[in-house]
Amino acid sequence: MEGLFVQLLVIGIKILVILGVVLGLGAYLTWVERKVAAHIQRRAGPMVVGWHGLLQPLADGLKLITKEDIFPRTGNRFLYNLALVLALVPAVLVFAVVPFGPEFEFFGVKVKPILTDVNVGLLLVFALGSMAVYAIALAGWASNSKYALIGSMRKAGIIVSYEVVITFAVMGPVILAGTLSTYEIVQQQINQKLWYIWLQPIAFVIYMFAMLAETGRVPFDVQEAEAELVTGFTVEYGGIKFGLFPLVEWYVEVLSLSAIAVVLFLGGWSPINIPFLGFVDPLFFLGPLSPFVWFVLKVALLFLFVLWLHWTLPRYRIDQITETAWKVMLPLTFVNLVLTAVLAPIVWR
């Protein structure tokens, strides 16, 4: 009985920590993005609210919350609100299977820093990832507006193509690790002394592209396309509802997919890897905190890389995007799969 209570308490604390960190971080990443974008364009970005604009997300949030909530008269109110829930919930739910570090003991209780270590964790991630298409299709349909509908249809087209690609891209690491559990995949990488990026560079590049496409980042932001579609499917939303979509799409989803990329290809919480030889940890002085720092560091670097790409590249046309997915990336993932099958025995040993 007591064991059950402790377990429930641990799970409750994990949920609170994950929700707080993810949503709070999501809000603060808007500030990061604005700063990065500004400096790439040789501007200074937000500077006024707080030190170097550090309180800007709070000000933005206050502004969005106090704004009038406008609803299009001919829209469908139920679906309109349902789309919000469908966008937010799966995106946050992905973090349930992201392992943040190795198992540790806290006052005699063994705690895995992962909410649920389900043995099909990776499957769950991509199942939830495909849920995003419902949110966007519903948002576009319920708004009853041309721009919103075109935007949501474009996004649906992209997600349908890239879900296939991303799923085949992660097959390589899954074969090498021999498991679908995210925690076990990292453990396997540590046991095999190998980050899977060394054997799966093609899969990694394709994963990165598919991640950009799924989260609607440049060069695949045709659903947003502010030059032609205003802001795509969010055009009829107002106030905090309008703020929530980019928050989910651009920050929470990018964060979750970066975390999954780190888990699959960059060895999760393990320090710098020399293939087949071992790990070098320049952060050894942090002691038991070092794995967590490594994980956060990798995710942060990946996120910054995505931002860097976003503010560098132009936008592809919708036909070019789907063409690349079906004609280039999908065959490449098949080639990668065959290569992995040949190489796998070396890793398994």
> Does the footprint of other proteins cover residue 317 (CB under 8 A)?
no
- Residue 43 binds other proteins (CB under 8 A): yes
| DSSP characters over 40-51 | HTT-----TTTG
The count of residues interacting with other proteins (CB under 8 A) is: 14
Strands, DSSP E only, in the chain?
Answer: 104-106, 109-111, 272-274, 278-280
Among 23, 25, 38, 59, contact with other proteins (rule: CB under 8 A) = 38
**By CB under 8 A, is residue 272 in contact with other proteins?**
no
Residues in a beta bridge with 279: 273
Joined tokens for residue 186: 């990292």
Q: Candidates 38-46, 74-82, 231-239, 245-253 — which segment interacts with other proteins by CB under 8 A?
A: 38-46
Nearer of residues 201 and 275 to other proteins, judged by Cβ: 201
DSSP secondary-structure letter at 200? Answer: -
Q: To which H or E segment does residue 246 belong? A: helix 239-246
CB of residue 287 to other proteins, shortest distance in Å: 33
The answer to whether 117 and 183 are in contact (CB under 8 A) is yes
CB atoms within 10 A of CB 113: 19
Which of the stretches 78-86, 114-122, 283-291, 307-315 binds other proteins when contact is defined by CB under 8 A?
A: 307-315
Taking CB under 8 A as the rule, does residue 312 contact other proteins?
yes
| Token pair recorded at residue 183 | 């925690």
Question: Closer CB to other proteins, residue 194 or residue 218?
Answer: 218
**Closer CB to other proteins, residue 47 or residue 62?**
47
Contact between 164 and other proteins per CB under 8 A: no
CB 309 → other proteins: shortest distance, Å? 7
- CA–CA separation, 244 and 86 (whole Å): 12
Closest to 142 (Cα-Cα) out of 241, 249, 239, 23? 241
Nearest approach, Cβ of residue 169 and other proteins (Å): 16
- What residues numbered 18-37 form the site for other proteins, per CB under 8 A? 36
Amino acid at position 182, single letter: T
Residues contributing to the site for other proteins (CB under 8 A): 36, 38-44, 47, 308-309, 311-313
